[in-house]
């Protein structure tokens, strides 16, 4: 059985949705969501970068994210019958998030096996056949086949197969409808 590792933030969990709304309220950040998505906070908004990092490290910050795409649930459930599914998230970047991420996964994806959750940093260390990730650097580091989950900040990358939503993930991995 082949294995698929799946990133969390901006692939199954809407990190930017909450981060953007929270930054507007807490730091009076007056920019569009698209500007926020593409921004490098340390460079573009250095006056809030430190407080932003503290905010996302608060123990509950990751707990109530929306799903990035509601289809992710049913598609991952179906994929899990044909592939070994791992969740691989660079949680070491934000150590305050460990418990919230774990609980969020159990809530939204109760059919996944927690023994297949991986909180890591560099995804070079993840052994799987595929990795679905929005982060080009992680896909370059990963040693299996990378699948780029499309987001505005990675639109210039042509290095990997690209999926735009979870229906496209399904089409890629289960091309013949099983029922």
Q: Interface residues with its own copies (CB under 8 A)? A: 3, 5, 86, 88, 90-93, 95-96, 98-99, 102, 113-122, 124-128, 143
Which of 36, 89 has the CB closer to its own copies? Answer: 89
Which of 113, 140 has the CB closer to its own copies? Answer: 113
64 is an active site residue: no
What is the distance between the alpha carbons of residues 45 and 63, in angstroms, rounded to a whole number?
25
Query: Minimum distance between the CB of residue 117 and its own copies, rounded to whole angstroms?
Result: 5
What is the distance between the alpha carbons of residues 147 and 159, in angstroms, rounded to a whole number?
9
Q: Which of 7, 69, 133, 134 is catalytic?
A: 7
Which of 86, 166 has the CB closer to its own copies? Answer: 86
7 is an active site residue: yes
Query: Minimum distance between the CB of residue 99 and its own copies, rounded to whole angstroms?
Result: 6
Contact 104, 89 (CB under 8 A): no
Cβ atoms < 10 Å from Cβ of 163: 19
CB crowding 77-88: b at 16 or more within 10 Å, else e: eebbeebebbbb
Q: Closest Cα to residue 33, out of 22, 42, 49?
A: 22
Which of 115, 176 has the CB closer to its own copies? Answer: 115
> Can you tell me which residue has the tokens 């959750």?
117
Query: Minimum distance between the CB of residue 142 and its own copies, rounded to whole angstroms?
Result: 9
The set of catalytic residues is 7, 9
């Amino acid at each position: 059985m082949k294995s698929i590792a799946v990133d969390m933030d901006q692939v199954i969990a809407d990190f930017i949705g909450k981060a953007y709304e929270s930054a507007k309220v807490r730091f009076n950040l007056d920019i569009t969501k698209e500007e926020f998505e593409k921004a490098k906070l340390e460079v573009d908004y250095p006056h809030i970068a430190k407080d932003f990092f503290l905010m996302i490290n608060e123990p509950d910050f990751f707990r109530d994210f929306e799903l990035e795409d509601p289809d992710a649930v049913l598609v991952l459930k179906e994929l899990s019958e044909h592939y070994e599914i791992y969740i691989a998230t660079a949680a070491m970047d934000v150590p305050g998030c460990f418990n919230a991420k774990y609980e969020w996964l159990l809530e939204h994806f109760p059919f996944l096996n927690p023994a297949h959750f991986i909180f890591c940093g560099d995804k070079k260390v993840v052994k799987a056949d595929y990795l679905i990730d929005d982060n080009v650097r992680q896909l370059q580091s990963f040693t299996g086949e990378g699948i780029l989950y499309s987001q505005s900040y990675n639109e210039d990358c042509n290095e990997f197969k690209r999926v735009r939503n979870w229906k496209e993930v399904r089409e890629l991995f289960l091309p013949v409808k099983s029922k």
